[in-house]
Chains A and B, each alone.
Chain A
Amino acid sequence: MLRAYSAFIYLFLYAPIALIVVFSFNSGNNASDFQGFGIDWYFKAANNSLMLAALENSIIVAATSSVLATVMGTMAAIALQNVRGPLRVVFDGLTYIAIMVPGIVIGIATLIALVTTFDAANTVLASIWPGEAPPKLSLGYGSIIAAHTLFAMALVIIIVRARIAGMDRSLIEASADLYADPMATFRQVTLPQLMPGIVAGFLLSFTFSFDDFVIAFFVAGSKNTLPIYVFSSIRRGVTPEINAIGTAVMLFSLTALITAQVLLRRGSKQGR
């Protein structure tokens, strides 16, 4: 019975996706009537410059913010295992808050904080700038990356800390007993053990950023990310092009997931 139930859940999870994929090959103009097989909509999407620009923005934002988040979050997680007292409490509290505060509130709060800061900064810049056209701070890549990094970093801290908690500490002691200096111990013992956590954190960060609509919606300014583009297209009316874009995005994610798995396997074999 458990088996049948699980099969049903898999059906529930995949039927809608299958539907999107099937209809992306619809040659007709109507999104909900299958009129024949064709890949016209993929060509349409591939030549859609707005979509391509949004895709490029999404990749830049996701890559930058996930790298930043992974590096800073891993650093923090490693330090936090040795920190006690108020600093630890404050940091843990902030990590909780960063995760718990809904994305929509983060988006709004970042928006109004940045707009307020930029307004003030631009006034100052304009008054001290010697030339004619002073540089203006505005929303864009920077603000999306910064806001995405916040959430992703908290995620990395939590994942890597969980990994540290489950780590075999006796190995570190053994390494120290064998006269490895702390740096060597870190590189040869700690880091390989933390690696699955770090990679998982990175992948989650990338996915989160690539997929996030609501934070970017507020802080993107004039920049479009792919989810923002897709959302506004759906609003304008459903076309099979959305199905084609969706299928392509799913394929992209799948490739990333498989690559990550392969890398993880290879990495853990080398570690031994």
Chain B
Amino acid sequence: MTTAALKEKRRQGRWNALLLAPSGLWYLMLLILPLIVILVYSVGERAPTGGYQAGFTFDNYLNIGARWTAFKNTLLLAPTGTLICLLAGYPLAYFLAVKANPRTRLFLLILVVVPFWTSFLIRTYAWMFILGGRGLPHLLELIGIEGVRFINTPFAVLVGIVYAYLPLMVFPIFVSLEKLDKRLLEASDDLGASPFATFRQITLPLSAPGMITGCMLVFILLMGEYLIPQMLGGGKVFFIGNALVDLFLQSLNWPFGSACAMALVFIMMVTVGLYLKATRATGGRDVSLM
């Protein structure tokens, strides 16, 4: 390598360091440091008046069983919600990317995304309204079906989940379907494949990156969900997030709360890690969020 090239390379290196410095600092101060603090707290003890007291014990982790219901609800409803979003969202993304009139396509896509732009709280609150005693159950009573209750059930929480996160699933699938080279579909058709075979062998695999991104986004957000179970599950269907709020803000048991938070992060990392590994193993390149 010539000296000029070497010099250029060094200059480039300095540039890169400069460009990465602010974000690097942010990651250090607001991600690494807080996570270390929470890790340290998770092996500490609860101070008599609440809060944290130095110590080294694994009791907090061993005690997680005390909040088993929260973990069970989350691990059951988060994957279920993600799956329903995928099943409900895929046909719409397919319709928008492949079947919709190109002139109205952008408008229709914006219509899907707009609800996502409106307040999450207000949207969830709308379902409190609809599923609550004076909403749907009241209407059902009028036609003679009595004693139906929606609010504060897992069903209400799932409705809230699908309603809130469907746009997030549709968008990445739409993007990957739109990028799909339509000539491939024609080629498949010309070669005598049935529409279903074309869909299964071309469209579906090629839209896998979008589906994976969508599922990851929805699943990640659901694992830490607080508002939907809080508002639509009442005190009955609560997630880990609700347990954490209780532990940190009500019972002031910071060490136990930290242990639960670490457990949540751990479960997520493992799930997502396995997921990425599986998608890489099946030959999917560039399917990650990056």
Binding site for B on A (CB under 8 A): 2-3, 5-6, 9-10, 12-14, 16-17, 19-20, 23, 31-32, 71-73, 75-76, 78-80, 82-83, 87, 91-92, 94-106, 108-113, 116, 146-147, 149-150, 153, 157-158, 161-162, 165, 207, 211, 213-214, 217-218, 227, 230-231, 234, 238, 242, 245-246, 249-250, 253-254, 256-257, 261
Contacts and interface: CB of A to CB of B under 8 A. Distances in A.
Given A6-B92, A78-B19, A249-B122, A254 B117 contact: yes
Contacts of A165: 286
Given A105-B261, A157-B23, A110 B30 contact: yes
B16 A83 contact: yes
B163 A91 contact: no
Contact of B37 (A76, A109, A231): A109
Given A109-B35, A112-B258, A245-B122, 15 more contacts: A2-B94, A5-B92, A5-B95, A17-B115, A83-B16, A99-B289, A108-B258, A113-B34, A113-B37, A217-B245, A230-B125, A231-B227, A234-B121, A234-B128, A253-B114
Contacts of B35: 97, 101, 109
Contact of A109 (B38, B52, B108, B119): B38
A104 B132 CA distance: 26
B257 interface: yes
Interface string B3-28: 00000000010011101101110110
A3 to B, nearest CB: 7
Interface of B: 12, 15-17, 19-20, 22-24, 26-27, 29-35, 37-38, 41, 52, 88, 91-92, 94-96, 99, 108, 110-123, 125-130, 132, 134-135, 163, 166-167, 220-221, 223-227, 231, 241, 244-245, 248, 254, 257-258, 261, 264-265, 268-269, 272, 286, 289-290
Contacts of A32: 129, 132, 134-135
A245 to B, nearest CB: 8
B210 to A, nearest CB: 12
A211 B227 CA distance: 12
26 contacts: A2-B91, A13-B111, A17-B115, A17-B123, A17-B126, A73-B23, A76-B24, A78-B19, A83-B20, A87-B20, A97-B35, A100-B268, A102-B265, A103-B224, A104-B241, A106-B34, A108-B257, A113-B33, A150-B31, A165-B286, A217-B245, A230-B119, A245-B122, A250-B118, A253-B117, A254-B114
